[in-house]
Every structure is written in structure tokens, then in C-alpha cells.
Amino acid sequence: EAQVTQNPRYLITVTGKKLTVTCSQNMNHEYMSWYRQDPGLGLRQIYYSMNVEVTDKGDVPEGYKVSRKEKRNFPLILESPSPNQTSLYFCASKPRGRGGEQYFGPGTRLTVT
């Protein structure tokens, strides 16, 4: 089944404790992206990647890191999480081209205390 998977789905952590949220897709998509979703603010892009070893900042990259060493994986790293990073995070992937739809993972709900 074509899908984007994220792990963990739920995470409660403390300020400053490094964490990684994994994202994997099995559709051979070139493009991958991370978003955060907060009430009243819609979807905001954190980072995206147009292909392996190519990553770019989105609208809200501060406090986050990503890497794209393999086509299928695009982990999101929070080196020193803070309470303002408490949010719902989505990973997405899409094929090359403007008309291709984005496929979303199920989301990771992160709480930083």
C-alpha cells in the first residue's frame, strides 16, 4: 500500500531533550516536506526536500533540522525542544511536477513540557 509513515504518533518530552521524528514513504517520491499545524494558523512548512541531499527552509525552520540521505526517509530533528514547539507535525511526499498531489502521513502530536 502506498503510504507515508511517521513515528512516533504521540510524544511527550521535556525541554532540551533531543528528539527525532521519522518519516518514510514507499512511493519513490522526489519531494518531501514537514509541516506543523497549530490552531488558527493552518499548515506551516518547516523544511522541504526536492531530492536526496537537497533540503531547504520553509516558513518556520527555526529550532528544527532535517536530513535527506535516502530518497524514502526524511527525519525531523529537534536538537533542543522548547514548549513553543508543541504542535501537530505532518510529513508529506509528492512526485515530481506541479500537478502531483501531496501524500500526508498520519501526524505526530508532540508535547514539550
Partner 1 sequence: AQSVTQLGSHVSVSEGALVLLRCNYSSSVPPYLFWYVQYPNQGLQLLLKYTSAATLVKGINGFEAEFKKSETSFHLTKPSAHMSDAAEYFCAVSDSNYQLIWGAGTKLIIKP
10 binds partner 1 (CB under 8 A): no
Q: Cis link prior to 8 (omega < 30° from 0)?
A: yes
**Position among 45, 73, 86, 111 found at the interface with partner 1 (CB under 8 A):** 45
Q: Determine contact, residues 105/23, Cβ cutoff 8 Å.
A: yes
Q: Determine contact, residues 55/48, Cβ cutoff 8 Å.
A: yes
Closest alpha carbon to 104 in 41, 51, 40, 27: 27
104 binds partner 1 (CB under 8 A): yes
11 binds partner 1 (CB under 8 A): no
Q: Shortest distance, CB of residue 53 to partner 1, whole angstroms?
A: 17
Which residues contribute to the site for partner 1 (CB under 8 A)?
Answer: 31, 40-43, 45, 48, 50, 90, 92, 94, 96-102, 104-107
